[in-house]
A and B are shown apart, each in its own frame.
Chain A
């Protein structure tokens, strides 16, 4: 009996332990308030509608109840720009043409008045330019129109150009009105012009060096501005920007709208929130990503009287122009919405291209939904620690962006899934992808990460100096520097930068991880230290005093240039800048393989702990499939090279295809495909030659390591110990011995 009681007591204690540990369970992602901005139990559901008007771009807008007034412009090569103001019934999704603006006339901003009319501030010019874009004749005019919001009839028209006598041209960025009927015009030079009801200048308010990011009237009728990340009331009596609103924090890029039920309705970078100034509260309504809307595309947003939220988005089309869409967001109980399996996408930062892919996936997939957990959104350092901690616990994201983590370390811990079996199961052949790029994320024949797009990080130099090989050793580099003895070895050549290029970019030069041996006490490292010591400290160097890099290159004053390469066109530009044949020789490396791979939009792996590995793969698959890889070709390699060989070949083919114009006699004359620039240097890019494409292919093939994978611990040790050497207190050999000693422990520990 006594024994039984002891057993019961032990069981109770054990139960308490388990209860305490139950708090460590996996969080449910975006279901709680604060994460995704959706309240527990409710969710905003999007509905998409075709916008009832066609235009190339929209300028200004004003809202009155459920009616949107908007000026839309269409560009015509023959007739130029034509702008029209529409009255848009947001509930009925119906546009009504209200007012047509004059030639070269634009709406800077508009406000709705209490009497139902609409006030517009418009600017126009009739400047005539010469071939160098110098003004020959013409002038600038600014007008305030008051029109009927029913039929567009002009009620009042007044030119206010004379209010800006000192300006040859003035651009009004924001217009809003207060409860007294005053009009506030904010220009791009931190000045707010306030006009009274009769369009007479009441005052000018100069904000000094405070940048006005947004300006709007509150529901209460006062005008506020977002200034340097703070919400400040415009103090008309004091003719100044007032103090920041207490207890209210706004983001640097937030856009204010007059609230329907609260003081302001605010569109932030990635979410929508409302501000109540009287209560001093801020309530997040939703996160754009959670409602399958790309925050980058949102142009206008507001509230409807029926509680819904509307937004107009503009998505750029690959072939040029933009698609506009009207989105209605309805708040519904979570139980009314079809529940999907949530795949957590863990990342330090959100790439805009990947965000688009996630939104597309969420819109199209019936079974899975990706929920983004952006660890670095608030505090990067704290986020990175949390990310690392989550990766080894039950809180691990299903899809992991490996860009900021040591993938090999996590792969060896079993955190990551081997992706080759998934590729095989999906019928994706690894032979169809660049072998060396895949291998960069391989460990013992297993693939732990995939980067859909990449570019190359390298050092470029004239072929006449370094030869044609895409690689060299540290000794070869140092010998060349001694031989040529240029005024500048590199454009940015501080001591730490040179140490970075010579040592950190390829630390394996000094560490043999197989045998656990370190070679920092060898001649090579001491030579690198002595070489770095020739350059000034970061604080002592002023690059602004130097001529531009293109001038230095042309005048043979700079020997090497650290650069990245993301397209053939960029290669052509670099060649033009150097003025002769160039070689991407890479960072010094004992195996002469110093060209490094950089994931352009991130690299992704699947957690071995994931409940939804198949769902995670379904998303990742979209990043390497033909459709997405081919879409990268359309971008002309602006973001990097696709990893799919066929897509890459398509890109090369496109780069080599000439484009022609017809002259007056009907002859085909090759025209530039595009123009590239670097600082003041610009170059027209013609179709690439086979040699140029081959050079880029060879460069890509020479890269097999990820850039920036040097362990921070080693960098810390070297940085700390080299300081006395650079200050002349210790010899290179002494410092090298200490580094050897300390790094050896690190290496031993990691074996």
Chain B
């Protein structure tokens, strides 16, 4: 009796399923099911706030920047096409800023990725005081930037601690923030500030690598280097890409620290692209600023595009 009932129910369900399939086919034919239409409106309603936000805060400002980059100034709005780009490209301050930004990023980003990866590897191995080390490397993230700058000033001021140490060894004083050493100081500051965050990302990536694959590799007598190079690195390729992009973005943000250290016009080795843009903005040279911003955006897109291609190349045979 019970079995029969169940069978009857089963049959009914099958019939329902068939009925639903027919309805779906019907909808596909007509394309005007009121429920589906309502669903679309509801989803559009949910999407609307974020779509409007993106339009208002990203798309529209970018359009305005493009517009400003092709007019002579924000008052007369005379169309000048690429003149602003040519003018900015030929500007000695812009060239200096681009060179410094490029040099800084080229040095700081690989260092930030490699060093944090090394730290993550170290902390993943069985060493004592792991937790304390992790906290130590993360602590710069918790310090407000103004305090960081204050510490750096104490360290690298002409009468600061570093020069005291040099004096102890009878070496000449170095004007760290007003010489070619300035960029070294900023790179150290950048690494100090960013290594901890990158390290946590790498540690998380390392912990998500399937253990069975590594165990198989160990059984197959693979060396530690082979395991790192052939397995871990490949599994972490998307994280490396993310960390690299984040570090690259952060390297452009180092202006904030430099600004707090030396104001709008630092020593030329510390003068970054964002200095150029901020200063031109405050001087109402919107057209210069916009042209510089677009050039910088293009370079960023190219670099990030290359990074994506690289990640695709190295991580293509890894699941996930």
Contact = CB atoms under 8 A, between A and B. Distances in A.
A binds B: yes
Interface of A: 9, 13-14, 16-17, 20, 388, 391-392, 409-410, 412-415, 516, 608-609, 713, 716-717, 720-721, 724, 729-730, 734, 738, 741-746, 748-751
Given A13-B51, A409-B284, A748 B91 contact: yes
Contacts of B271: 745
B159 interface: yes
Contacts of B266: 742
Contacts of B178: 721, 738, 741
B171 interface: no
Given A392-B286, A413-B74, A751-B92, 16 more contacts: A16-B55, A17-B56, A388-B284, A409-B283, A413-B75, A415-B75, A608-B75, A713-B264, A716-B263, A717-B263, A730-B175, A738-B175, A742-B268, A746-B265, A749-B93, A751-B91
B96 A729 contact: no
B55 A17 contact: yes
| Pairs A-B, 6 closest by C-beta atoms | A748-B93, A414-B75, A749-B93, A414-B76, A748-B92, A738-B178
B160 to A, nearest CB: 12
A724 B158 contact: yes
A729 B56 CA distance: 52
Given A392-B74, A413-B74, A13 B93 contact: no
Contacts of A412: 73
Contacts of A410: 284
A738 B176 CA distance: 12
A497 to B, nearest CB: 23
Contact of B265 (A20, A415, A742, A751): A742
Q: Which of B72, B283, B285, B286 is packed against the most chain A CB atoms within 10 Å?
A: B283
Given A17-B56, A17-B60, A414-B75, A741 B268 contact: yes
Given A17-B55, A751-B91, A745 B96 contact: yes
A7 to B, nearest CB: 14
B268 A413 contact: no
B36 interface: no
A198 B55 CA distance: 79
A516 B265 contact: no
A677 B311 CA distance: 82
B279 interface: yes
B153 interface: no
Interface residues of B, number: 34
B158 to A, nearest CB: 6
A14 B63 CA distance: 13
B76 to A, nearest CB: 4
Interface in B270-288: 271, 276, 279-280, 283-286
A750 B283 contact: yes
A372 B186 CA distance: 48
B107 interface: no
23 contacts: A13-B51, A14-B55, A17-B56, A391-B284, A412-B73, A413-B75, A413-B285, A414-B72, A713-B264, A713-B265, A716-B263, A720-B263, A729-B158, A730-B158, A738-B178, A741-B267, A744-B268, A745-B93, A745-B268, A749-B91, A749-B93, A749-B276, A749-B279
Contacts of B96: 745, 748
Contact of A16 (B52, B267, B280): B52
A746 B267 CA distance: 11
Contacts of B92: 516, 748, 751
Contacts of B55: 13-14, 16-17
B91 A413 contact: no
Interface string B281-320: 0011110000000000000000000000000000000000
B44 interface: yes
A275 B96 CA distance: 60
A717 B52 contact: no
Contacts, number: 82
B44 A9 contact: yes
Nearest to B269: A741
Contact of B75 (A388, A609, A745, A746): A609
Nearest to A720: B263
Contact of B76 (A9, A409, A608): A608
A750 B264 CA distance: 13
Contacts of A750: 283
A722 to B, nearest CB: 13
A392 B91 CA distance: 24
A13 B283 CA distance: 33
A738 B270 CA distance: 13
A743 B75 contact: no
B78 to A, nearest CB: 8
Interface in B44-81: 44, 48, 51-52, 55-56, 60, 72-76
A412 B73 CA distance: 9
A203 to B, nearest CB: 55
Contacts of A720: 263
Contacts of A716: 263
Contacts of B265: 713, 717, 742-743, 745-746
Given A717-B265, A745-B268, A749-B279, A13 B75 contact: no
Given A392-B74, A713-B265, A738-B175, A413 B284 contact: yes
A20 B51 CA distance: 14
Interface in B160-182: 175, 178
A340 to B, nearest CB: 26
B73 A413 contact: yes
Contacts of A392: 74-75, 284, 286
Contacts of A745: 93, 96, 265, 268, 271
Contact of A738 (B60, B267, B280, B284): B267
A726 to B, nearest CB: 13
Nearest to B76: A414
Contact of B52 (A13, A409, A734): A13
